[in-house]
Structure 1
Amino acid sequence: SRNKSKFDYGAYFREMRDTHDLTTKPEDRTWNAVPPIEAEAEPHDVVLYLGCNVLRTSHMIKTATDILDLLGVDYVAVGGPAYCCGIVHNRNGDIELAETIGTNAIRYMERYQPKIVAMW
C-alpha cells in the first residue's frame, strides 16, 4: 500500500465533501471538481487553483469567482480532492503518495493551457 501512515484519507475527504454538500447548493458550484479529459479541455488564460480543502469554505469561492467575472478574466476555477496538492499526505508521512498526487494536480491544471495559475 502507498498509504504508509494508515491515515484514513477516505474519511478525511468524505467529511470535507459532506460539509460542502451541506453548505453549497449544486447550482452554486462555480468550479470544476473533476479534471477534464485532456482532449476536451478548453483553454483559459487563468486557472484559479482552489486546492482540495476549499470544499470547507465554498462560500469564499463564490466571492473570488464573482470578482474575476466582474473583471472579465478568462478563467476556470478548479478544486476538490482531485486537485489535491498532497500536503495532507505529506504531513502524514506519505511522501511518495504526496508527490504523485501533487504531480497529478499540476497535470490536470496544465490541460487548460493557462498563462497564469492563481493559487487560492
Structure 2
Amino acid sequence: MSNKAVLAELQALREKATGVTESAVASVDGLLVTADTDGARPEALAALAAATLGLGKRTGHEVGMGELREVVVRCGGGHVVVYAIRQEALLVVLGDEGLDVPRLHLDSRPTVERLGELLAGERTSI
C-alpha cells in the first residue's frame, strides 16, 4: 500500500461528495495512516475517530443491531462521519452544514471498499 494511493482515494471522495471538507484514514487504535485535511489536526482527528468508532461498535453490539457501518455526529457547524474499514481501520469524514449525509453514505461505500483492499494489500506484503 502506498500512502499516495490512500490519499488519492480521500481526495477523490472530497471531489465527488459535495460538502466534504476533510478526511483521514486511521487504524482502529487511532494511529494516523494519512489525511486530507486543511484545518483539523490529523493525529487528534485519528485518535478521536477511533474512540468514536469503538463506542459505536460497542453500542451496536450491546443492543444487538449487528456490525457497525458508520457513526454520524451532527454539530452546529457540520458533520463528523466515521466509517469502519473492515476490522482494522476507519475512515473519518468532516463535512460542512451543507453535507448531504445520505449521498455521502452512497459515495463512500466504494471508497471504503477500495481503502480496505489497499490496507489489506499492505498487510500481505509485509
Q: TM-score range by the shorter chain?
A: under 0.3
Higher strand share: 2
**When you count helix as a share of all residues, which structure comes out higher?**
1
Q: Normalised by the size of structure 1, how large is the TM-score?
A: 0.28
Q: Does 1 or 2 have the higher relative contact order (CA < 8 Å, sep 6+)? A: 1
Instruction: Pick the structure with greater CA Rg.
Output: 1
